[in-house]
Structure 1
Amino acid sequence: MKGRIVLAGLAASLIGAAAWAQATLPVIELTAGFHRIEAEVAATDGSRQTGLMNRQAMLQQRGMLFVFAEENTHCMWMRNTLLPLSVAFVDAEGNIINIEDMRPQTEDNHCARRPARYALEMNAGWFAKRGIAAGSKLRGLERAPRPQ
């Protein structure tokens, strides 16, 4: 019994540490048309690799902006990601290239159709419900930290 309590305490500590680490990412405000987005910014290798893994829920106006050092046909996947997400691949000028829906806990690649500088992950269907599609523009990207 004592071992179970210790393991439960350790698990709670690790979950708390992971939540704290995620909460320390910078947050910037983006807009897509009239829609406001609070985007956590993943601009380091570590934060881009972790992304939204292990999160149980995300507010509707919240998302994660991945900032890449170079424009490329970047790809995303959903290993250890519990939430269904939609990802918009965005060029350096803020134009949405394409949007892909991603199923939780899969390793399917979802890639930009042409070189992208950013990827914005939101709850599944967020873009479609608001009429945001390829060719739409994201504003506020200049506030994003430079990639490291």
Structure 2
Amino acid sequence: MLKKLFGLTASFAALVGLPAGAWAQTAKDADPAIWVVKDADTTIYLFGTVHVLKPGLSWFDEGVKAAFDKSDEVVLEMIEPDAATMQGVIIKAGLSMTGPGLSEKLPKESLPALAVAAKDLGMPESALERFEPWLAAMMSAMAPLSKYC
């Protein structure tokens, strides 16, 4: 059970850590979201990122390149740690070995969805009991994406 948990957590950490542009040099255009905020002397580009993309999507198009080229500074949401460090952070923040279990933290109407999520993850519901709600939700959301990696 613990082996499966660590494997899923490692998979999740790997998916989170994948750079969006790592796949496919020539591919379909993904048209990422770019917003422009301006005043008299400043232009700021806000770039919407997706950390897991389907293979074959090219996100670094001419619009993105132009915005990067015009910029004096690029600020990223985070510097990604190595996979082992990320796995430790996720386990420390996402597992609770004391206190109420996941099924007690969720509204009763969410429990059928929890059962489906456990099945989709290939885990018994009891294995999710020590998960924080955010980790269970993220792992459930990421599970279908793992087939692209």
Q: Larger % of helix: which?
A: 2
TM-score, length basis structure 1 = 0.22
The higher radius of gyration belongs to 2
TM-score under structure 2 length normalisation = 0.22
